[in-house]
Amino acid sequence: MRKTPATKGRLDLFILICGAIVTTIGALVLLGWAGGWRLLTAVRPDYIPMAPNSALVKPYTLHTMQAMLKTVVIDQEGE
């Protein structure tokens, strides 16, 4: 299956939206930890809160996955 420019554009937009969501969640968790707001660190009060280091690592992990995905798409376009 060949990737068209429109498909690649939609994929890039999807990756950008996912990255923005993950980065926003990570920023909110860090804000919750800094401000002492348990509501922002856990999904529900009885759940274990997200660790601050996880909030920092997730956006970087997503950017790495984005780079790997773009490499795979570019490799498939060359075939």
Say whether pLDDT at 35 is over 80.
Answer: yes
pTM, 2 dp:
0.63
**Whole-angstrom Cα distance, residue 34 to residue 25?**
14
**Whole-angstrom Cα distance, residue 62 to residue 75?**
20
**Whole-angstrom Cα distance, residue 47 to residue 75?**
42
Domain map (residue ranges) of the chain: 5-74
Reported as type and span, the H/E element at residue 78 is helix 52-78
Instruction: Provide the mean pLDDT of the chain.
Output: 76
Say whether pLDDT at 6 is over 70.
Answer: no
